């Protein structure tokens, strides 16, 4: 009698193959799930705005900066904090004559400004060291202090708010602060106008007197005009910022690099900013490109001191007054 095949137990090799197939299916599904979770949880890399290119004209400006005019709005990097407009492009050295803390202006988030030019200095704390671009701005009409000027770090003006601006050059400063026109010549005073003299009577003819010929006197040469006297001064370890107007430090110009010798014409007393004191004197710089049109605080120069000399000499009194 043939045994019933349905009641016969399955062979062991078939069971092993069935279990192996199920295990492969479970492992593949688990691997797919892990791969999905890994891909889903992988951090997305967000590219930061390149503040080196933002607002810079040239062959390859930042593609998002396309405007060439209009106002821009500042944006704080910490919600609720104001944005600082500084007298110098950088944070260091603050508390000195050229960057006094008292001259920093704080404006509310979203304040409208007019971007004027850009320069490279140093990045604030918390930003990459090579992101060193600063913008010189003027508070726009409707802002808390319209016309107030200073530097703002480039990251505090969103790229969508920026306009393409030129570099901060001496010519750019003269466009912002043109020199005052020369005063017109004074009108003549009628009281000092000479009265024409009456004609004198015609004299009687007199016989001419014959004189012996005289030896010609040689002409005395005109002495040459002396050149304008200047005194050489050396800037200190932080250099010397320059300004068109020493009174209030208005119209910043090109900075004199550290340890640079320049010719100084004269000195002007302008103690309006605290850091120019205790003496309060400024030097008028004769060397190009300043060419007698810019001033620098006297205590930023060595004034004959050697490095490390104490107390420091704030003013070279051999420089004449302007």
Residues 81 and 146 in one domain: yes
> Which bin fits 110, alpha (ψ -120 to 50), beta or left (φ > 0)?
left
Q: What pLDDT does residue 193 have?
A: 66
Q: Are 318 and 231 in contact (CB under 8 A)?
A: yes
Q: Considering the domain boundaries, does residue 107 fall inside one?
A: yes
Highest-scoring range by mean pLDDT, 95-99, 195-199, 243-247: 243-247
Residues 137 and 80 in one domain: yes
Question: What average pLDDT does range 292-317 have in this prediction?
Answer: 89
Residues 148 and 289 in one domain: no
What six digits make up the tokens of 190? Answer: 């009628």
> What's the pLDDT tens digit per position in 102-153?
678 889 999 999 999 999 988 888 889 888 899 999 999 988 889 888 899 9
Q: Considering the domain boundaries, does residue 101 fall inside one?
A: yes
Q: What pLDDT does residue 184 have?
A: 77
Q: Considering the domain boundaries, does residue 159 fall inside one?
A: yes
Q: Considering the domain boundaries, does residue 86 fall inside one?
A: yes
Instruction: Tell me which of 256 and 97 has the higher pLDDT.
Output: 256
Residues 118 and 173 in one domain: no
Q: CB 284: neighbour CB atoms within 10 A?
A: 21
Residues 315 and 175 in one domain: yes
What's the DSSP call for residue 168?
-
Q: Exposed e or buried b for every residue in 78-89, given b needs 16+ CB within 10 A?
A: eeeeebbbbbbb
User: In what helix (H) or strand (E) does residue 245 lie, and over which residues does it extend?
Assistant: strand 243-245
Helix (H, G, I), strand (E, B) or coil at 13: helix
Q: Considering the domain boundaries, does residue 259 fall inside one?
A: yes
pLDDT of residue 227 exceeding 60: no
Residues 277 and 152 in one domain: no
Residues 135 and 173 in one domain: no
* Closest to 290 in 3D by CA, of 262, 267, 321: 262
> What's the pLDDT tens digit per position in 262-273?
999 999 999 988
Q: What pLDDT does residue 182 have?
A: 64
* Closest to 159 in 3D by CA, of 64, 47, 71, 74: 64
| Confidence tier at 311 by pLDDT (50, 70, 90) | confident
**C-alpha 106: how far from chain center:** 18
Q: What pLDDT does residue 221 have?
A: 54
Residues 174 and 278 in one domain: yes
Residues 138 and 282 in one domain: no
Residues 149 and 260 in one domain: no
> What's the pLDDT tens digit per position in 142-178?
888 898 888 999 999 999 999 999 998 878 878 888 8
* Closest to 158 in 3D by CA, of 79, 65, 47, 91: 65
Q: Considering the domain boundaries, does residue 41 fall inside one?
A: no
pLDDT of residue 309 exceeding 70: yes
Q: Considering the domain boundaries, does residue 109 fall inside one?
A: yes
What is the model's pTM?
A: 0.45
Task: Report how far residue 91's alpha carbon sits from residue 94's, in angstroms, rounded to the nearest whole number.
Answer: 6
Q: What pLDDT does residue 16 have?
A: 43
Provide the residue range defining the domain that includes 274.
169-179+229-322
Residues 113 and 137 in one domain: yes
Q: What pLDDT does residue 53 have?
A: 41
What's the DSSP call for residue 200?
P
The DSSP code sequence of 170-183 is: HHHHHHHSPPPPPP
Sign (positive or negative) of CA dihedral 39, 40, 43, 49: positive
Q: Considering the domain boundaries, does residue 256 fall inside one?
A: yes
The number of distinct structural domains making up the chain is: 2
Q: Are 87 and 99 in contact (CB under 8 A)?
A: yes
Residues 306 and 251 in one domain: yes
């Amino acid at each position: 009698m043939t045994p019933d095949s349905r009641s016969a137990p399955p062979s062991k090799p078939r069971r092993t193959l069935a279990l192996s197939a199920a295990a492969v299916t479970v492992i593949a599904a688990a691997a797919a799930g892990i791969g999905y979770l890994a891909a889903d949880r992988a951090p997305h890399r967000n590219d930061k705005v390149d503040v080196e290119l933002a607002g810079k004209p040239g062959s390859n400006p930042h593609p998002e900066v396309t405007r060439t005019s209009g106002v821009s709005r500042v944006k704080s990097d910490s919600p609720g904090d104001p944005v600082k407009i500084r007298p110098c492009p950088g944070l260091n050295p603050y508390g000195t004559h050229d960057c006094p803390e008292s001259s920093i202006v704080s404006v509310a988030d979203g304040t409208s400004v007019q971007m004027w030019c850009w320069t490279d200095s140093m990045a604030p704390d918390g930003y990459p060291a090579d992101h060193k671009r600063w913008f010189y701005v003027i508070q726009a009409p409707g802002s808390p202090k319209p016309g107030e000027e200073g530097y703002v770090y480039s990251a505090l003006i969103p790229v969508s708010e920026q306009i393409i601006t030129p570099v901060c050059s001496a010519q750019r400063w003269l466009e912002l602060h043109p020199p005052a026109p020369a005063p017109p010549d004074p009108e003549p005073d009628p009281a000092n106008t000479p009265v024409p003299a009456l004609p004198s009577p015609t004299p009687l003819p007199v016989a001419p007197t014959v004189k012996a010929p005289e030896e010609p006197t040689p002409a005395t040469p005109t002495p040459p005009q002396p050149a304008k006297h200047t005194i050489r001064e050396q800037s200190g370890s932080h250099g010397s910022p320059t300004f068109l107007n020493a009174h209030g430090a208005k119209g910043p110009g090109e900075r004199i690099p550290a340890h640079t010798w320049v010719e100084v014409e004269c000195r002007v007393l302008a103690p309006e900013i605290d850091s120019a004191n205790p003496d309060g004197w400024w030097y008028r710089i004769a060397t190009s490109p300043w060419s007698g049109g810019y001033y620098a605080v006297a205590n930023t120069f060595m004034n004959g001191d050697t490095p490390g000399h104490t107390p420091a000499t704030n003013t070279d009194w051999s420089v004449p007054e302007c």
